[in-house]
Structure 1
Amino acid sequence: MSEHTSGDPSVSDAAALLERYGIVPGVPSGPLVAQCRLARVATGAAAVAVHLDGLAEPVASDGDPAQAPAVASAGLLDEDGGVLGRLVAYADRPVDAGLLEVAAGGVAALLEAEVARDRIFDLEEAVARSDDQLAQASGQIVHDLNNPLAAIAMCLEIAREQVPDGDLLASLLDRAAGSAARMKRMTVALNDYGQRITQGSTDLAVEVPALLREFEPLLDEVVEVVEPLPVVAMSPGDVRTVLTALWENATKFRDDEVDLEVVVDAEQVGEAWRVRVTDNGRGIGQAELERIFAPTVRLDKRIPGMGLGLATVRRIVAAAGGRVGAEQAHGGGTRIWFEVPAAGPSGHAGAGRQVSPD
């Protein structure tokens, strides 16, 4: 039996709850305290605290619960409907029970999101598995993240509707909504990373302009397409995932001093085609050009993300029998290329400049 448990089942259950949600007794959890602060300001309570079942003391609070009686509480329910504990409001007068319920939903969703986020660290182990196992593992993680994220977003939206613009609480709610949106983008990246690779061929001369139109007006004046473009042995869905990741990467790491420019072109390399995406952004150091394709690598921690975009590109291209690479572009910026087999004779396959393989 661990040092956190005893013969009392309630103590064991409480210890399991703390371990599941990564809560250390006596060490305040910043996100939980922030949720308590939002609930306190929204309801007008003197204090709000998170109580988990089996624990005498709250695991997080804002304000001093000892200074006022408990006047209202709302259950903290996990995604299966189980009761984790209660969000309790302390005040000398009645508080808005409806807003406390909304806040409790946000706290419960935050706890569940923490559990799901911990599972992301298992992803590197999943990389070594087969494609089917990887898709299954990442799909489950995305599912576990999406449910609490949806609940968080809904609770924040409801709470925000009750607060006028310019109020301090409005600013806090907007900031929390922004954090939830960033986590949603992370789940999209994770889903892309674990997507099943499909067989097929794609005419880039058709697919690239069509994809660019979906990004209007964000990239239509930024990306220059140099024709001719070939037909390659990758499915349209995989091509879209790869190009989207490369364009988003160029956008994230743009040079703020100059207007962003991205060039897409292709050249024949033996029996394959090398598609190149060149930008005029910040550039990447020579020592980092290979490391950027590894999962979870982020060269600039100030830019949100999971570091899976270029890892996704490499995985998809490798599954198509190709390879990827990066190099410093002339005059600054970065050129990232992916090389995949030609799809066979076509009106585009013989066009372009032929070069010798590296």
Structure 2
Amino acid sequence: MTAQCRLARVATGATAVAVHVTGRDTPLAVDGDPRGAPEAGAVDLVAADGVALGRLVAHADGPVDQDLLEVAAGGVVAHWELEAARNRLFDLEDVVARGDDQLAQASGQIVHDLNNPLAAIAMCLEIAREQVEDGDLLASLLDRAAGSAERMKRMTVALNDYGQRPVAGVTDLADEVPALLREFEPLLDEVVEVVGPLPTVALSPGDVRTVLTALWENATKFRDEDSDLEVTVTAEPVRESWRVAVTDNGRGIDEADLERVFAPTVRLDKRVPGMGLGLAAVRRIVAAAGGRVGAERAPGGGTTVWFEVPGAVPPGHSSTPA
């Protein structure tokens, strides 16, 4: 909260800015020294549900920019609500112990709680950023805050993917994979090679996109920085199913972690951004379709992550798994 006070102080030109909470005698957060400086402006802090949280007070010997103070107040409220949602997010470890279904249900509610304050923060940051010149201290602070908000947004996307219920459907991978690769241009178009024909599988197009996106993003996150990234996609019939494999030449996974990586919230490298839900979402989607997943160390380094799902033949097609 002190960071929000600092942004408000720099933006408005105040001597000090403080957050006063209803029912508390001392400020919750303050930036600058308000002693000797009179109150030059104040904005009520009201949550989205109408609950009064307190006041954002600016102290200065002269007038302050009231419009920017109101923008800053919106950012304080959004940050407040975001922190509350993040606290719920940290409680996910307890939910994990009770099973994947409850985790998925909880993640959907958390995404809902995070989206509103994140949108408010992004809007406030954008408005404030338009008021300052590049190179100013405030511009640097706002850009850093915007970067943090964007990282939180990516976290909500991961949570949302995990919380989505799998939908029954059929997808021709020969059509869907090239279409998805075009969306990833130029990030993946030149590094992903499809080897051999791709089948039609009993997964909905949306679920296929979630699965393949998670696998490709993992390949880019854990690439070997000393070599160019290479990713191959292959498919082979296995009994009444198809096994689709994504192989990369990245860092690889230790043998002891090959099964553990599919558990929710597991992150093998804490330095890499993420929540550890990508492969968990893959497993959940594939299992709902009656399939299974696995990971193996690739020959020569890297990792192969595969999933098996039942085959399906749409009208006009005659090929089936052997």
Please give the TM-score of this superposition, normalised by the length of structure 1: 0.85
Q: Deviations over 1:266-288 (max 9, x none)?
A: 11222211110001111111111
Q: Which residue of 2 aligns with 1:53?
A: 22
Structure 1 counterpart of 2:320, which letter?
A
Corresponding residue for 1:294?
263
1:320 Cα offset (Å) = 0.6
Give the whole-Å Cα distance in 2 for the aligned partners of 1:241 and 1:126.
23
RMSD: 1.7
Q: Matched residues in 1 for 2:305 and 2:99: separation?
A: 26
- Residue of structure 2 in register with 1:36 after alignment: 5
**CA separation in 1, counterparts of 2:67 and 2:22?**
22
Q: Secondary structure at the match of 1:297?
A: coil
Q: Quick check: 1:66 aligned with 2:35?
A: yes
Shift of the alpha carbon at 1:48?
0.8
Distance (whole Å) between structure 2 residues aligned to residue 208 and residue 197 of structure 1 = 19
1:67: Cα distance to partner? 3.7
Quote the Cα distance in structure 1 between the aligned partners of 2:244 and 2:209.
Answer: 13
Contact 1:124 1:295 in 2 (8 A): no
Q: What's the CA shift for 1:109?
A: 0.4
Secondary structure of the residue that 1:86 maps to in structure 2?
strand
Shift of 1:129: 6.2
Q: For the Cα contact (< 8 Å) 1:37–1:48, is it kept in 2?
A: yes
Worse-superposed segment, 341-350 or 192-201: 341-350
Counterpart residue identity of residue 338, structure 1? F
Asked whether the equivalents of residues 313 and 319 of structure 2 are also in contact (C-alpha less than 8 Å), the reply is no
Percent identity of paired positions between Structure 1 and Structure 2: 76
| 73-82 or 152-161, larger mean C-alpha shift | 73-82
Unaligned runs of at least 5 residues, structure 2 = none
Please list, as runs of the form range in 1=range in 2, the aligned pairs for 1:246-325 lying within 5 A after superposition.
246-325=215-294
The letter for the 2-side match of 1:225 is V
Is contact 1:225–1:264 with CA below 8 Å preserved after alignment? yes
Aligned-partner SS, 1:118:
helix
Deviations 1:144-176 (CA, angstroms, capped at 9, x unpaired): 100000000000000000010011110110010
Equivalence for 2:89 = 120
Report the Cα offset of residue 82 of structure 1. 2.1
The answer to whether structure 1 residue 199 and structure 2 residue 163 are counterparts is no
| In structure 2, C-alpha distance between the alignment counterparts of 1:204 and 1:89, rounded to whole Å | 59
Corresponding residue number in structure 2 for 1:349: 320
1:167 aligns with 2:136: yes
Equivalent runs, 1:94-243 vs 2, <5 Å? 94-123=63-92, 128=98, 136-243=105-212
* Cα offset, 1:183, TM superposition: 0.7
Q: For 2:35, what is the secondary structure of its paired residue?
A: helix
CA offsets 1:111-159 (integer angstroms, 9 cap, x no match)? 101111222244456565685x665533222111000000000000000
Q: Give 2:164's aligned amino acid.
A: Q
Q: Distance in 2 between matches of 1:314 and 1:286?
A: 18
After TM superposition, give the deviation of residue 52 of structure 1 in Å.
0.4
